[in-house]
Amino acid sequence: MDYSKILSSNIQSVKPSGIRKFFDLLTGMKDVVALTVGEPDFVTPWHIRVAAIESLESGKTYYTSNSGLAELREEIAKYLNRRFDLTYDGASEIVVTVGGSEAIDLTMRALIEPGDEVIVPQPAFVCYGPIAEMAHGVPVYVETKEENQFKLTADELRAAITPKTKLLVLPFPNNPTGAIMTREDLTAIAEVLKDTNIMVLSDEIYGELTYGKEHVSPASIEGMWERTIVASGFSKTYAMTGWRLGYLAAPQPLAKQMLKIHQYAIMCAPTTSQFAAVDALRNGDNDVEKMRNEYNRRRRYLVNGLRSLGIECFDPEGSFYVFPNISQFDMTSEAFCEKLLYDYKLALVPGTAFGDCGEGFVRISYAYSVEHISKALERLEQFINDKKF
Amino acid sequence: MREKQTLAKNMSELLRLLENDSRLSAETLALMLDKETGDIKKMIEDYQDSGVILGYKTLIDWDKVDDTHVSALIELKITPQRDRGYDHVAQKIYNYPEVESLYLMSGSFDLAVMIEGRTMREVALFVAEKLATIEDVTSTATHFVLRRYKDKGVVFGAIPTDERGNVV
């Protein structure tokens, strides 16, 4: 059978994630010190796991309502209000999803007509462009610059807008750069969007992980609530990646349509995870603070360590990644990472995994112990001392 | 005021880091806390001089080294002395090197003594000959530790492995 004639041409034209190739090199190699992983190294706090276990013990193994447990949606609404000054009606403006990723997918599928343009700032997490394409949209990548702390500027946005622009993705705090957008930065973006029908997808999965400055949600900026879909989840905040639980918050007419996709495609998010999430929101503030403080110490350790090796590094203010500039080594990001991997058994992710504009950078995750990061820095120092570049 | 608060926060953060891992070098601590190495060294010296930091020890799972090693918790009931309360009898007890820790407790007994010994017999003899014979001790109850699951915040026996997959 010629599957290529059977499979949809749309799905065949979507490129597989480039990073896979690099991770495949890693498999089977021994004694590699890796700073590649994009998830917390903490285990989900015990009281949250207990809440899940207790829900199973008491036989809560049924489907929940399509949009999620009412008490969870209420807790999410309260949380968004107390943390980010956002007002949503838990009953009609919040949908509990399978991870933040599903919230991104629902947004794109509900909004995009064939040929609509989706503005995606890059470097960024890999999913936005391909999901837009699968929804028959056209991603328009906008390069954020190191000299602007990898923020999206109003001018860059203005230059990317065309009559076909439907959606702007705001992936901040950012994976891989660690960039954040302040209230002033977002106000400038809001000014550009004023009087347009352009919608905003704000991916705030790292919203609790900022250091020194509080995260500001674009939806809290004047004139933005109506046009913004907030996508977030429990993975990074509460170290709950494997539970696959996220949510979207959007004005009721949008949430209502998105819920239809979720209802037919997914039914509902995992019930056990939803019970765990209720406990996380009610009793997890201290855990979040502890993890944030620990990430912050590692962040400082890593950034200071890189600088002491003479590696230029933009000061990341959010997420748990550092995105140093490696152009001084005169190698492509991929060659640099392969050299480190093969000769020094140190694994970092090439910046190009997050868009072509990531050339000249690498992503280093600090979701690792200081001891582990210190080993990695030793290997990097060895590489620099050997001057094999 | 704010400076004072920041200073207090930095100081307690340093103490918490050292409490968790006393091997962290001044250089590493300085990087983690965004301070100068010299300042960290000075802070640690001050803590040592003022008795805030009393020592640095290593947490060892002795069961993996030597299977006769035993620990016991001994409950003591005491008749407190006029003017000196429990302090005098406490001193008589904690001066024995066998005594690992000693706490004055609320509740049905007065002093909790943690003893480390090479054998159960050694611990039993220590209680019978040294503790029970102290004048103000009115009764003892010895509880041997059968297994240490967790000590000083560390779970015994578990060696953590990183099972995370490579997902961007």
Q: With beta carbons under 8 A apart, name residues in chain A contacting B27.
A: none
Residue B167 has pLDDT above 80, yes or no: no
| Cβ pair B164:A293 closer than 8 A | no
> CA A53, CA A38: separation in Å to the nearest integer?
26
> CA A217, CA B42: separation in Å to the nearest integer?
41
- Smallest CA–CA separation between B32 and chain A, in Å? 4
| Cβ pair B168:A126 closer than 8 A | yes
Lookup result for tokens 């943390």: A83
| Cβ pair B32:A301 closer than 8 A | yes
Q: With beta carbons under 8 A apart, name residues in chain A contacting B17.
A: 297
Query: What chain A residue is nearest to B30 in terms of C-alpha separation?
Result: A301
Phi, psi (rounded to 5 degrees) for A233: 180, -170
SS3 state of residue B146: coil
Residue A195, number of CB atoms within 10 A of its CB: 8
Helices within chain A (DSSP H only): 3-6, 9-13, 19-26, 46-57, 70-84, 99-111, 128-134, 154-160, 183-193, 252-265, 271-283, 285-308, 333-344, 370-386
Q: With beta carbons under 8 A apart, name residues in chain A contacting B164.
A: 37, 39, 41
| Cβ pair B31:A300 closer than 8 A | yes
Of A37, A301, A354, which has the smallest distance from its Cβ to B166's Cβ? Answer: A37
Domains of chain B: 2-49 (1.10.10), 62-146 (3.30.70.920)
- Written as tens digits, the pLDDT of chain A (389 aa) is 999 999 999 999 998 887 777 788 888 888 999 999 999 999 999 999 999 999 999 999 999 999 999 999 999 999 999 999 999 999 999 999 999 999 999 999 999 999 999 999 999 999 999 999 999 999 999 999 999 999 999 999 999 999 999 999 999 999 999 999 999 999 999 999 999 999 999 999 999 999 999 999 999 999 999 999 999 999 999 999 999 999 999 999 999 999 999 999 999 999 999 999 999 999 999 999 999 999 999 999 999 999 999 998 889 999 999 999 999 999 999 999 999 999 999 999 999 999 999 999 999 999 999 999 999 999 999 999 997 55
Q: Pull the structure tokens for residue B139.
A: 């009764």
Segment B57-73 mean pLDDT: 88
> Any CB–CB contact under 8 A between B24 and chain A?
yes
Q: With beta carbons under 8 A apart, name residues in chain A contacting B32.
A: 297-298, 300-301, 370
SS3 state of residue A389: coil
Domains of chain A: 3-44+286-386 (3.90.1150.10), 46-284 (3.40.640.10)
- For B82-129, the pLDDT digits (tens) are 888 899 999 999 999 999 999 999 999 999 999 988 899 999 999 999
Of A38, A300, A370, which has the smallest distance from its Cβ to B168's Cβ? Answer: A38
SS3 state of residue A123: coil
Residues in a beta bridge with B99: B115
Mutate to test the interface with B, among A177, A235, A370 (most CBs of B within 10 A): A370
Q: With beta carbons under 8 A apart, name residues in chain B contacting A321.
A: none
